[in-house]
Structure formats: structure tokens, C-alpha cells
Structure 1
Amino acid sequence: MTTEHEQIAVAGEGSAAAAPDVMRLSAGVEVRGASAAQAFAAVRSAAARLEAALRGAGVAGEDLRTSELSLGPEYEAYPRVSGYRAAQGVEAVVRDLAVADRVVDAVAGVGEEARLGGVSFELSDPSGALAQARERAFRDAAAKAAEYARLAGRPLGRVVSVTEETRGGPQPMAFAAMAAEDRSSVSPGRQTLSVGVRVVYAFGDAVPVTPGSGGR
């Protein structure tokens, strides 16, 4: 068993870029009415049109999720109510980016009640990119350990422990620049997955210098 004094701990970092293949779209409808019942009925009708439009654009029913449902008064001068506002939001998961533009256009086609909250992109299966990032992180740590061992004049021994360190969540992602050749209005660009690793090595036994081996 090695003690802490016979170990060296180093941190390594690695990353890998990949093209996202899933888009999440946040959309919804918003209406105003003279009464709560009128506003609520109108927003439910508009929401049904929005859902039908998204389905027609290629979004599967199981990939639609209600994300907001609200109803409340609006005041001309409190406590005088001037009307009621109702809103219903939906999150759509687009698994075929070839229809991404069509899906966005479908939201706009619902009418003046439509609201578009934005889009985000992700990888449906990040395991391949993460494996590549982990390998690069470990190699980075190994290279640092070898350098420190050389500076300490000790041979590098076995790996004692490996700990993966995440930053900002289990799958840190950062958007890279959008592809210049993509002429669609919606471009996923590329995402970079990063992994940090802490590796602890044992120092090997120093090689003694014997007479006649070149030492002085």
C-alpha cells in the first residue's frame, strides 16, 4: 500500500465535438378576453390549432408536452379589471432536423395568438462523444503525471484511483459556431462535450545508482 507521500495526483481535461440531432422548441399561444371564461376558451382553441399544426409539420404526438397553462386578470388601474389573459405553452421535440424549419413555420402559421419562445439543440446519444472526451482527458492526465514524475526523479507507478469531475452539470455542453454551409434558418451548429478527470498514481521505486553504472 502506498501512502499519500508516495503518490502523485493530476487533473486532465478532454473534449469532443459532435453535431446535435435533436431540437427542442418552446412555443405557445396567448389570448386576451373580456371574461375569464372567454379568454380560457379562446386559448384552448388556439392551443388545439397549434398542436395540430405541429403534428402536421412532423412532430410525433408523444413528443409534445404542455409546459404552461395560465389564466389571470389584467388591470386598468388596480383593482379595476380590464380583461383576462390566458396562455398555454408547449414543448416540441423534433427528432428529424430536416423538418426543423417546417416546424418553426407551423408555429407562425397558427396566427396572431402564437408565441415562439426559442429553440435548443442536443445529442440523442452523447455516449460516443463522451467516450472520446474521457479518453483525451485520461491521456492528458497521464502526460502530466509522467512529466511530474520525471521532474521529481521518480519512475511513475500504477494508477491508484480515477475520479471523473463534471462541470456545470452531468453533460456540459457549449455551442460552437454554426455551420457556414447550412442555409436553413435553423442551424444546430456543433456542441462540445467536456470531461475532467483526476488520476492518482503511485510513485515507483527509485532506481539505485550502483558503482560502475555511470553515477559519480
Structure 2
Amino acid sequence: MRLLSPSRTGGKQKKALRLFKQLEFLVVGRALRLPVQIGQANNKKASDALALQFQVRALLRSLGAHTLAREVRVEWNPRLKTCAGRADYREKLISLNPLLLDHELLSVNRHSGSEIDRTLRHELAHLLAQFRVGRRRIAPHGSEWREACGDLDIADEARCHNLPFASKSFPPRFVYACPSCNEKFPRVRRIRRAIACLACCRKHNGGDFDPRFRLKLATTNS
């Protein structure tokens, strides 16, 4: 068996180590470049969401809601199709529809201010309103939300947006009928509680509920 001198052995070890480092650098370099190539379109959304999150936290701190400011997060959620945004108080999360980005480019000359900023403040008002009242349940667009909108400089905010997003429509699966006048009431979902024909209740019972006019299932379209 051929023995190598310490100097020659050390030289081969150094050469092998340099080769290993080169291979390691090559593999790591490719790994670092790959997500950039694949997720290049998502990088701007991520940075935008982070910038919006900083903006939201600054707004909350200016209103004294420091605890909420530390916890709130902002994201772009592609699962949102028809709504511009959504607020989840339990998760302290504001989700925005990515279609707002496309709409922003098309509507810059037709709208005063940013639709993204307005939607962000709209959803933030929901979180702020609930934060202020604690565990008490409040109406989604009630007086508490309206007050929060005023504090966020969107006092004239509407409950729903009027952006040209595609809307969902479902054919009615259930048709109910009044046993008295035989008026038909198509519904997408099955009625789970007692509902009566309003016209008959007004005509025969002063507008109060009357079980005689309770709607009955007539047909089902599966």
C-alpha cells in the first residue's frame, strides 16, 4: 500500500475541500436564484403587503390602539374573488383582493385617492371597532364601524365597493310557496327557520307572523 507524506496528503485534502466548497456554492447559488425566478411576480405583492402592514400599524398607534398595532397583519389573498377585502379580528388579519392591483393601474385617473388605501382603511375600521368594544358583538357596519371610519379619514365610506369584480350567481335550488296565495319564493339555500308570506301576514294579521302563511317547500332542483 502506498503511503502519502503529510504534505501531499494535506494538499489533496485542501484541493478536495476547495472543490466541495465550489460545489456547495454552486448548489446554494442555484437554490437562491430558483425562487426568484419562480416567484418573481409574488415578490412585489409581498413587499407591498409589508408596506401596507407598516402603514396600518402606524395608523393604529396614532389612534392609541397599540396592542392591536403589534398584532395586525396584511396579506394579498387570491382566494378573494368578489369582495375587495376582508377583516378577521380573531386572526388580526386584513386580506386584500389582488385584483385591486390591476384596478389601481386602470383607475388612477378616474378616482381620487387609492382604492387599495381606501379598502385597507375600510377593513381596518372593522378591526378597530371590534378592538374598542372588546368581546361585545357589534353589527359589521354599525355605529362603531362608522366611528372608526371617521377616525381613519374615510367618514363617507360605503358599506360595499362598486369595483368591477366578477360576481357570483347561483341558480335557485329550492322553491317555496305560500299555502294561502300560492306566491312562489325561489331560494338558493334551504330555509331553516319559520318564514311566512309577508303579503298575507299584512293582509290578514296586521303584519305579524302567522303560522297559517308559513312558507312550504314546493319543488327542489338538484
TM-score normalised over the length of structure 2: 0.21
Higher helix share goes to which structure? 2
Higher strand share goes to which structure? 1
Bigger radius of gyration? 2
Q: RCO higher in 1 or 2 (8 Å CA, sep ≥ 6)? A: 1
TM-score normalised over the length of structure 1: 0.21
